[in-house]
Homo-oligomer: A and B are copies of this chain.
Amino acid sequence: MPEPSNPHFEEAVRNSFAAQQLMATIGARLTLVAAGEIEIRVRFRPDLTQQHGFLHAGVVTSALDSACGYAAFSLMPDGVGVLTVEFKTNLLAPARGEELIARGRVVRVGRTITVCQADASMISDGVETSVATMLATIMMVRDRPDVVG
């Protein structure tokens, strides 16, 4: 893993995460911030479910997307913006249990494009089960932090 180029990367990640209002809405917490590695947890809540009573794929993907984006962002220089170009999620098992754990990590850092991978699991009665995996493409933007591409 390359060294982080922003010595204050943890603060930068935490500030940006705190500004994602969706994370508060779904009860997502940032439980690990390391260089190139992020963990986000979401407690099960009935209002986040799909038709069978498990966490909706959209919630799982929200956590995985943020985990990938911030894993990439943690290795970027100070002052740049981060954008998700695309992601793919494979759903592996129903997201049943008490808590979702989404762990993102950087696979490859490029000048503009960073590729990340993330896994989601559910804790149920103390046992962790894989429920999804994501492969994502993240982009660094220097001068237009709010525009994709």
Please list the residues of chain A having a beta carbon within 8 angstroms of any beta carbon in chain B.
Answer: 16-17, 19-22, 24-26, 46-52, 54, 56-59, 61-63, 65-66, 83-94, 107-108, 110-115, 117, 130, 133, 135, 137, 139, 145-149
Contact call B85/A108, Cβ cutoff below 8 A = no
Contact call B112/A139, Cβ cutoff below 8 A = yes
Contact call B56/A22, Cβ cutoff below 8 A = yes
Contact call B91/A86, Cβ cutoff below 8 A = yes
Stoichiometry, copies per complex: 4
Contact call A137/B86, Cβ cutoff below 8 A = yes
Task: Determine how close the nearest CB of chain B comes to the CB of A142; give it in whole angstroms.
Answer: 11
- Chain B residues near A57: list those with CB within 8 A: 61-62, 65, 84, 87
Complex CA–CA separation, A76 to B66 (angstroms): 31
What are 30 A-B interface contacts by the 8 Å CB criterion? A16-B51, A17-B51, A19-B50, A20-B49, A20-B51, A21-B50, A22-B47, A22-B56, A52-B145, A57-B65, A58-B59, A58-B61, A61-B61, A62-B62, A85-B91, A86-B88, A86-B89, A86-B91, A86-B115, A88-B88, A91-B148, A92-B108, A93-B149, A94-B147, A107-B130, A112-B149, A113-B149, A117-B133, A135-B135, A137-B137
